[in-house]
Each structure stands twice: as C-alpha cells, then as structure tokens.
C-alpha cells in the first residue's frame, strides 16, 4: 500500500505518519528528514537543500523528485511505503504517478490532516524535535518528561531553524499556494481521506487508521 500524508507544516504529519507506519508496517519516507540527514552529512544535496529550507522555500522539484525516486527504489519500499512531506507540488505528484505507472503501481490513498493556520503557528513555535529519532514534542501540549531529553531514546531535543516566526509564515504561504492544489488532484481520483487535525493525537490516528482499513 502506498500512502501519502498531506498537511501544512505543524499539522502533525510526522506524528501521524509514525503511528500509521507502526500500525501498518510501512517504511516512513519523510522528504524533510532526508534533506536534514543529507545536511548533517554535509553532502552536496544537503548543502543545496539548506539554502531553501532556511528561507522556508521548497527545494527545486527536480532535486526532490530524484531523491525520492532513488529512496523508493530501495527494497524496503517494494510493496508499499508512506510518504510524509512529499509530494508538495503538482509536478511532484505527477512525477510520482508517472514513475509508479511505469512499474504497474499507484498511490492508494492521500490522507489530508486539516488544521487552521492560527493553530499551526502556535504548534510550530513550541515545537522541539529529537535530534536522534526525530520524535516531536511541544513545550505546552506534549512536553518531554525530562526537559531537553527525548522520552523514547534519551536524545537531545532541538528547535528547527525553520520553526521561527518569519519562516513559519512563509512555509504556510508556500503550503497554500503550491501544496493545497494537490488535494484536488487526489480528490478527483477519489483517493483522499480528510481528517480534522485539531483533535488529540490518538483521536486523529484512530480516524486515519480506521479510514485506511475500510478501503
Ligand atoms: P518538513 O520537515 O517536511 O517540514 O520539510 C522541511 C523543509 O524541507 C521544507 O520547508 C522544504 O524546504 C524542504 N522540503 C521537504 N519536503 C519537500 C518537498 N517535497 N519538496 C520541496 N521541498 C521540500
């Protein structure tokens, strides 16, 4: 099963993706994590992505599509995976469909987690992430048990450089202009599952998983 997780920055895509991947035993392909890993390793891809990520802009389609298509050619994705943060433009969605069609595969479902912009800004400004396992925390809504340390692996928590107020607003604008049109693309194919992301983490997860299992 190939699933796409759509939502604005801060909508909870990563958290829901983790839960769904665990429940359905799927590899979790997060484009933002792949760019951050490349940046940590200081590869050419990482350094290129950095300049866009810092400004809250999208990394060019050609670079992003190449990275994702390479990743999904790994054996763990042969019968399914969950995409988190990809596609983010119509061009990326079409490139994925084209690559899948050539292999007789297709996207099964696109989950859209909807959260109002005001709430997204609050979530992003309080967000801290584990440097080791990427688990997200929120200083008010879901703080770690020990300040600065991940509950799951004890890793150090950090605030993403692009979770700052100016960049957050830019990222939301990019989302509305470039990513929201993808929703219609998947709606026309009757593939969307639209969920209210303003509920608690477990409630959202329950809705997503039951919709996926009903398909
Ligand atoms: P994320 O962790 O998904 O919020 O992504 C962080 C940043 O990585 C984004 O603001 C973009 O600069 C870049 N990025 C992640 N996924 C994509 C994508 N599918 N297309 C272009 N840029 C992306």
Question: In whole numbers, what is the pLDDT of the chain averaged over residues?
Answer: 94
Is 160 one of the catalytic residues?
yes
Question: In residues, how long is the chain?
Answer: 215
pLDDT of residue 122: 86
Please indicate whether residue 187 is annotated as part of the active site.
no
pTM over 0.75: yes
pLDDT (0 to 100) of residue 164: 80
DSSP state, 109?
E
Angle at 118 (CA atoms; ends 57, 184), nearest 5 degrees: 60
Q: Which atom of ligand 1 is nearest to the CA of 55?
A: 12
Query: Which pLDDT score is estimated for 161?
Result: 84
Nearest to residue 111, comparing CAs of 215, 198, 13? 13
What percentage of the chain has pLDDT greater than the value 70? 100
Predicted pLDDT of residue 160: 86
Query: Above 70 in pLDDT, residue 171?
Result: yes
pLDDT of residue 189: 96
Q: Ligand 1 center to residue 20 CA distance, Å?
A: 20
Superfamily for 2-116+172-214?
A: P-loop containing nucleotide triphosphate hydrolases (3.40.50.300)
Instruction: Tell me whether residue 41 is one of the annotated catalytic residues.
Output: no
Flag the least confident range among 3-7, 104-108, 145-149, 160-164. 160-164
Identify which of 99, 102, 105, 101 has the alpha carbon closest to the alpha carbon of residue 78: 105
Closest ligand 1 atom, residue 13 Cα: 3
Identify which of 208, 153, 214 has the alpha carbon closest to the alpha carbon of residue 19: 208
Write down the pLDDT at residue 64: 98
Q: Is 60 in the pocket of ligand 1 (CB under 6 A)?
A: no
**Range with the lowest mean pLDDT among 63-77, 146-160, 165-179?**
165-179
Question: Nearest to residue 96, comparing CAs of 67, 128, 126, 55?
Answer: 67
Q: What is the predicted pLDDT for the residue at 39?
A: 94
Domain ranges, ordered by start, for the chain: 2-116+172-214
Determine whether the shortest distance from the Cβ of 32 to ligand 1 is under 6 A: yes
Q: In what order do the strands lie in the sheet with 157-158?
A: 136-138, 127-130, 157-158
Amino acid 215: pLDDT? 65
pLDDT in tens, 76-125: 999 999 999 999 999 999 999 999 999 999 999 999 999 999 899 888 88
Per-residue pLDDT at 165 exceeds 80: no
| pLDDT interval class at 162 (50, 70, 90) | confident
118-122, 142-146, 161-165, 189-193 — which is least confidently predicted? 161-165
């Amino acid at each position: 099963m190939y699933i796409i997780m759509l939502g604005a920055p801060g909508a909870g895509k990563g958290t829901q993706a983790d839960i769904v991947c665990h429940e359905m035993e799927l590899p979790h392909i997060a484009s933002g994590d792949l760019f951050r890993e490349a940046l940590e390793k200081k590869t050419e891809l990482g350094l290129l992505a950095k300049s866009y990520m810092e400004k809250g802009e999208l990394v060019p389609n050609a670079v992003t599509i190449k990275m994702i298509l390479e990743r999904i050619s790994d054996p763990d994705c042969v019968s399914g995976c969950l995409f988190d943060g990809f596609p983010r433009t119509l061009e990326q969605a079409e490139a994925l469909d084209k690559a899948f069609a050539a292999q007789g595969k297709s996207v099964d479902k696109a989950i859209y987690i909807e959260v109002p912009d005001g709430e997204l800004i609050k979530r992003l400004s309080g967000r801290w992430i584990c440097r080791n396992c990427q688990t997200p925390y929120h200083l008010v809504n879901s703080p770690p048990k020990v300040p600065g340390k991940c509950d799951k692996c004890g890793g150090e928590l950090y605030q993403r450089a692009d979770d700052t107020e100016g960049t957050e607003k830019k990222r939301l604008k990019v989302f509305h202009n470039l990513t929201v049109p993808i929703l219609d693309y998947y709606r026309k194919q009757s593939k969307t599952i639209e969920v209210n992301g303003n509920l608690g983490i477990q409630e959202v997860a329950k809705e997503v998983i039951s919709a996926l299992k009903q398909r």
